[in-house]
């Protein structure tokens, strides 16, 4: 980014430099169109973000809603872009995107929830705990610290057991070993 001018050559050139850098980053991961698209999506997102920060009407209004929307949209965009990175090929990427946007049969959703109900319960509990007020978290942290050692060992053992039960039993290779 810096070697091609960074942000020293004007606003438009900054956007182009961001895009070029990320496309090259995609090519670095593999000489395949899916990696180029992955890089281009991230480069475009960086350029749009840089532009948005200049015209952002909410810049002075830092509240929980705008923060939530910013984090949520970033998460969803990055997750979408990773489809191109992780898919085996171009057709699989578009098949995954198609599955994301087409309506799902209610029966299939019910079947999936039943099959993974324990995982969904854990996700719901984690979200609830995450959004608890700080003083509640501090209260529970203090409560845990005051418990006897055998209770702590039991709780930690239970958490490890639960994580083992919900984890994939198939060995998942490190992503960079696939290249």
H-helix or E-strand spanning residue 106:
helix 106-115
Residues 111 and 7: their CA atoms lie apart, in Å, by: 51
Whether 17 and 1 have beta carbons less than 8 Å apart is answered as yes
Token readout for 126 is: 């984690």
Catalytic residue flag (residue 42): no
User: Residue for token digits 């050692």?
Assistant: 149
Q: Which residues contact 30 (CB under 8 A, 6 or more apart)?
A: 179
Whether 47 and 60 have beta carbons less than 8 Å apart is answered as no
Which of 29, 67, 76, 130 does the annotation list as catalytic? 29
Q: Which residues are catalytic?
A: 29
């Amino acid at each position: 980014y810096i070697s091609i001018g960074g942000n020293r050559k004007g606003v438009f050139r900054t956007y182009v430099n961001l895009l070029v850098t990320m496309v090259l980053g995609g090519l670095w991961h593999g000489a395949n169109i899916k990696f180029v698209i992955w890089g281009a999506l991230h480069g475009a997102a960086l350029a749009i973000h840089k532009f948005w920060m200049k015209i952002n009407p909410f810049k002075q209004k830092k509240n929980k809603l705008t923060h939530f929307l910013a984090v949520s949209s970033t998460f969803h965009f990055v997750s979408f872009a990773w489809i191109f990175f992780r898919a085996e090929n171009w057709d699989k990427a578009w098949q995954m995107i198609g599955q994301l946007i087409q309506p799902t049969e209610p029966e299939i959703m019910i079947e999936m929830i039943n099959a993974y109900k324990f995982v969904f319960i854990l996700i719901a509990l984690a979200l609830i705990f995450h959004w608890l007020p700080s003083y509640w978290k501090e209260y529970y942290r203090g409560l845990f610290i005051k418990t006897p050692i055998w209770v702590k060992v039991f709780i930690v053992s239970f958490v490890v057991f639960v994580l083992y039960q919900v984890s994939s039993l198939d060995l998942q290779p490190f992503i960079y070993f696939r290249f």
